[in-house]
Amino acid sequence: KQEVTQIPAALSVPEGENLVLNCSFTDSAIYNLQWFRQDPGKGLTSLLLIQSSQREQTSGRLNASLDKSSGRSTLYIAASQPGDSATYLCAVVPMEYGNKLVFGAGTILRVKS
């Protein structure tokens, strides 16, 4: 059964700092991996999707990498801003059943001004 773990559970950094969020998954047989952002009172917003054949994806100040063989992904946020404060969720689509996302518990990020 696929399990997704995110470390750290919470992170507090000063504005302007570069930071890395980690995601690991137990079964490397995945179709893709997605990073989401969740704001209080709002739904999840998709940030990046990495196909299993890709190594990384970039969007603005965000860069996500995927090492499928080791079951790891990282989300790199450059020059963090207070507006980046949110919960970041990692999710994989397992090859065993490609019809759902399996989520990690998330990392709560606080960027202090």
For residue 58, state whether it binds other proteins (rule: CB under 8 A). no
For residue 8, state whether it binds other proteins (rule: CB under 8 A). no
Task: Count the Cβ atoms, other than its own, within 10 Å of residue 66.
Answer: 25
For residue 60, state whether it binds other proteins (rule: CB under 8 A). no
For residue 53, state whether it binds other proteins (rule: CB under 8 A). no
State how far the Cα of 100 lies from the Cα of 81, in Å rounded to an integer: 32
Bridge pairing between strands 102-103 and 86-94 = antiparallel
Nearer to other proteins, 92 or 111 (CB): 92
Q: Which of residues 71-100 bind other proteins (CB under 8 A)?
A: 89, 91, 93, 95, 97-100
Task: Count the Cβ atoms, other than its own, within 10 Å of residue 87.
Answer: 17
How many alpha carbons fall within 13 Å on the CB side of residue 13?
A: 23
Total residues in contact with other proteins, by rule CB under 8 A: 24
Name the residues that contact other proteins, by CB under 8 A: 31-32, 34, 36, 41-46, 49, 89, 91, 93, 95, 97-101, 103-106
